[in-house]
Amino acid sequence: MPIKMKHIKILFILGSALLVSSLHAQNFISKGMIEYEVKVNNHKVMGDGFWADMMRYKTPKLSTYYYQLTFDADKSIYVFNRKDEKTKIMWNNSGDEENIWYNDYAHDNFVQQKNVFGERYLLADSLLKMNWRMTNETHEIAGFNCRKAVGKLFDSVYVFAYYTDEITVSGGPMSLHGLPGMILGITIPRMFTSWVATKLEVNGIDTKKIIAPTKGKKKKAKDLQQTVIDATKDWGSWGRRAVWEIFL
C-alpha cells in the first residue's frame, strides 16, 4: 500500500527532530564556569570522645560552601565563592577562603596559593597522579549524565567521582583530574565531604582570570607535605585529614 503524503510529512518531521536532537547532543563544551556545593559533615569530622560529644551540641551537623571552577580547554582555576547563611554565622572567616588552585593540564603542572597553619604558601608541582577505575554506574548531575569512577589518594583515601564527557576538559574541583571529561560530583568518605556541581555557565565567561596565583612563600608541594606530616603526626585522625585537605 502506498504511503500517503500526510504520513511522509510526519516521518519527515520526526526524522528532522531526531537529527536536531543528535546534533545538539554532539555540542561538546570546552569553556565555562561550574559552581560546586561543598558539604562537610562536622559531627563526623569531630570523631569520638568526650570533647567531641560536647562540641556536637553546639555545632551544626553540616557546613555548606560554594566554589567556582572556571575552565578553558586545557587549564582551570578553582576558588572559594561563598558560604551559606548557617555556615557563615557558625564559622568565622578563615585563611582557607584565600586558597586558589590553578591547573595546567596541557603541561601537567599546577600552582596553588594555600594557607597552611596561618601562613600563605605558593606551591608548584606536577599534577596529582591518580589511577581511576571505571564503573557502569551513572548518575545525573546538573543536567548531565555522569559516569562513576573510583580512585585513591595518598595510598589509602578512596575517591568516588562522577564525570561527564560532554565537557571535554579533563578536570574537576581542586587538584582532581585525569578522567575522560569533567568531574561534576565527588565523595570522599574519609574526609566526610562531598562536592556536587549545581550549575554550569558558558556565556560571558572571563577566561582571562585563569592565571596562576603569585602571592605566598614559594615552596615545592612535596617538600611542604613532609613538613606538615611531621607536624601533625600526633594529631590522630585530625592530623591525617589536615594533610589531605592541604594537599588535595
pLDDT band at 16 (very low <50, low <70, confident <90, very high): very low
Tell me the DSSP string of 61-119: SEEEEEEEEEEETTEEEEEEEEE-HHHHHHS---GGGG-EEEEETTTTEEEEEEEETTE
Give yes or no for a contact between 187 and 160, defined as CB atoms under 8 angstroms apart.
yes
Give the mean pLDDT of 33-62. Answer: 77
Segment of 5-14, 52-61, 197-206, 227-236 carrying the highest mean pLDDT: 197-206
Confirm whether 106 is domain-assigned: yes
Range ranked top by mean pLDDT from 33-47, 67-81, 224-238: 67-81
Residue 48: inside a domain, yes or no?
yes
Coil/strand/helix, residue 220: strand
Phi, psi of 213 (to 5 degrees): -65, 160
Which pLDDT does position 223 carry in this prediction? 87
How many distinct structural domains can be found in the chain?
1
pLDDT at residue 155 is higher than 90? no
Taking the C-alpha atoms of residue 178 and residue 180, their distance in angstroms, rounded to an integer, is 7
Asked, for residue 168, whether it belongs to a domain, the answer is no
Gap between the Cα atoms of 152 and 138, Å rounded: 19
Query: Is the confidence at residue 46, as pLDDT, over 90?
Result: no
Q: Does any domain span residue 122?
A: yes
Q: Find the angle CA(57)-CA(190)-CA(111) to the nearest 5 degrees.
A: 110
Tell me if 210 is assigned to some domain.
yes
Between 214 and 17, the higher pLDDT residue: 214
User: What is the rounded average pLDDT of the residues 190-212?
Assistant: 95
Q: pTM for the full model? A: 0.85
Residue pLDDT, tens place only, 59-81? 777 889 999 999 999 999 999 99
Domain contains 165 = no
Q: Indicate if the pLDDT at residue 149 is higher than 60.
A: yes
What is the arithmetic mean of pLDDT over 105-132? 93
In a domain, 3, yes or no: no
- Across the chain, mean pLDDT equals 85
Identify which has the larger pLDDT, 211 or 18. Answer: 211
User: What domain range includes position 217?
Assistant: 31-126+185-247
Cα separation, 112 vs 23, whole angstroms: 38
Look at residue 67 and tell me if it is in a domain. yes
Distance CA 178, CA 67 (A): 20
**32-41, 81-90, 139-148, 222-231: which range is least confident on average?**
81-90
Q: Is the pLDDT of residue 147 over 80?
A: yes
Summarised one tens digit per residue, pLDDT across range 157-168 is 999 999 999 999
